[in-house]
């Protein structure tokens, strides 16, 4: 069975500072990894994905994530946080065979203070 862990319920960062939202995963097979963001009363919006290739993936709104196979991690990063980045962030994983449905982490709330 596949699983995703987001160890922090909330991350607080000052505007202009770098941010990191952590994610680790467990799968049997090659992982496909995704980050999504959710704003209040909205569905999830795709930020970035890792399927194969470069371990550093760049996505929307200046976000990036680094795939680390040995540590089974896929942490989300941004060099300079904006107040508008405040939202709920979800890491998700699927595998390259079978159903390919996503398994989500429990989410991390990012709060960027002015």
Please list every residue from 44 through 63 that binds another protein, using CB under 8 A.
44-46, 49, 51
Q: CA nearest 2: which of 81, 70, 66, 97?
A: 97
CB of 16 to another protein, least distance (A): 29
Q: CA nearest 37: which of 24, 51, 52, 48?
A: 48
Size of the site for another protein (CB under 8 A): 25
CB of 15 to another protein, least distance (A): 27
On whether the CB atoms of residues 34 and 91 are closer than 8 A, the answer is yes
Is residue 102 a contact residue for another protein (CB under 8 A)?
yes
d(CA 92, CA 103): 5
Q: Which residues of this protein are in contact with another protein, per CB under 8 A?
A: 4, 9, 32, 34, 36, 41-46, 49, 51, 90, 94, 96, 99-107
């Amino acid at each position: 069975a596949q699983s995703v862990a987001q160890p922090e319920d909330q991350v607080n960062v000052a505007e202009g500072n770098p941010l990191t939202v952590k994610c680790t995963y467990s799968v049997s097979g090659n992982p496909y990894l995704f980050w999504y963001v959710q704003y209040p009363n909205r569905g999830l919006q795709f930020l970035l994905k890792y399927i194969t290739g470069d371990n550093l993936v760049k996505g929307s709104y200046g976000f990036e994530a680094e795939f680390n196979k040995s540590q089974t991690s896929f942490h989300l990063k941004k060099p300079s946080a904006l107040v508008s980045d405040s939202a709920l962030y979800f890491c998700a994983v699927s595998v390259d065979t079978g159903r390919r449905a996503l398994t989500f982490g429990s989410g991390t709330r990012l709060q960027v203070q002015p």
